[in-house]
Amino acid sequence: MRVHIATDHAGLELSAHLITHLAAKGFKMVDHGPTAYDAEDDYPSFCINAALAVVADRAAGLDSLGIVLGGSGNGEQIAANKVVGIRAALAWNLDTARLAREHNDANVVAVGGRQHSLEEATEIIEAFLAEPFSNVERHIRRISKIATYETTGEVVA
């Protein structure tokens, strides 16, 4: 599986750790930056580029997910969710990480680097990457309604 990762300055240490750790587990890691610490960096471009790459990979039939990191993960999740076709979920424990995949077929996970220890954050992200989508009809239906609104502006009841 290819994993696109992006961060801001607050998640840079976690990002570096995850790139090494997940690559050792066999994931093909693609780093969308930043490459150096800058307390004044602007995360949206990094996160949007990672999300665009996830969408492009999936359109090409590749197994691909994304990780966006920040101090809280909130802004990074918002940025990623602006990309059509992305369902980014903020995960703060193992259950929210697994449910994001199982129920929502989330294709990007957001985690706050300042909210967790390195070990906790790694476990949350590994749980997200390992969990398959359930393919349960009610979840498919709900995701379809979100996609319809995203592409047409129509709110389906």
Among the listed residues 90, 129, 89, 83, the one whose alpha carbon sits nearest the alpha carbon of residue 112: 90
Residues with a known catalytic role? 76, 103
- DSSP per-residue codes, 7-50: --GGGHHHHHHHHHHHHHTT-EEEE-S-SS--TT--HHHHHHHH
Among the listed residues 7, 29, 14, the one whose alpha carbon sits nearest the alpha carbon of residue 116: 14
